[in-house]
Amino acid sequence: SQTIHQWPATLVQPVGSPLSLECTVEGTSNPNLYWYRQAAGRGLQLLFYSVGIGQISSEVPQNLSASRPQDRQFILSSKKLLLSDSGFYLCAWSNNRSPLHFGNGTRLTVT
Amino acid sequence: KNQVEQSPQSLIILEGKNCTLQCNYTVSPFSNLRWYKQDTGRGPVSLTIMTFSENTKSNGRYTATLDADTKQSSLHITASQLSDSASYICVVSDDGNKLVFGAGTILRVKS
């Protein structure tokens, strides 16, 4: 069966520090991978999606970047965090035969 | 503009009671509609997915309905349990696989 792992679960980082959130998927090959941000009281906002290794599409301009160094690995990064980067970040995967499957999320607090 | 509106924003019900959550959308062209359940601090989990031709779909005590003419969907929860306390998110996909998320309805079931 397919599983998705996302870590860390919570993270507190100072303004200006770098960020690296990692997401890996098991049990499927060539999945579509996504990074979402969820703000309180609002719907999920798509940040990045990837249909293959090295292929990244950005939905909104921002302080973050994404990379897909391996087929089932998706990384969300920032060189210098801003206060506004605080939020709940969700990684997800899908393929032609399934709906989105989400990881358990990372609660990021930038102080 | 493609939008998904959910109501109510939050809801409190007694254990054992039924409830219905609403989702109205303007997404066009329409491909499918999904309901997700998101426990606090966790990623959303898919409950149902419905295409244009499906009016009703059940998953245990959860029953989703879809009226593609009026662009409305509902999620009915029967005989609620404490474990049903969560956020319920309606997600609509267009035929280009772009997903539009509602802000969710927060349900609290109390004993």
Q: What is the DSSP code (8-state) at residue A84?
A: G
| pLDDT average, residue stretch A8-18 | 96
- CA B44 to chain A, closest CA, distance in angstroms equals 6
pLDDT in tens, A31-60: 999 999 988 777 788 999 998 998 998 887
Per cent of chain B over pLDDT 70 is 100
In this complex, the residue of A4, A43, A104 whose CB is nearest that of residue B101 is A43
Query: Which of residues 21 through 40 in chain B touch A, CB cutoff 8 A?
Result: 34, 36
B44/B37 Cα distance (integer angstroms): 5
pLDDT in tens, B1-55: 779 999 999 999 999 999 999 999 998 888 899 999 999 888 899 999 999 889 9
| pLDDT average, residue stretch A13-30 | 95
In this complex, the residue of A41, A99, A104 whose CB is nearest that of residue B46 is A99
Ordered strands of the B56-59 beta sheet: B4-7, B19-25, B72-77, B62-67, B56-59
C-alpha distances out from residue A23 to A93, A100, B35, Å: 10, 14, 23
Contact indicator for A85, A110 with CB cutoff of 8 Å: yes
How many interface pairs between A and B have CB atoms less than 8 angstroms apart?
42
Contact across the interface for B49 and A101, Cβ inside 8 Å: no
Per cent of chain B over pLDDT 90 is 77
B95: left (phi over 0), alpha (psi -120 to 50) or beta: alpha
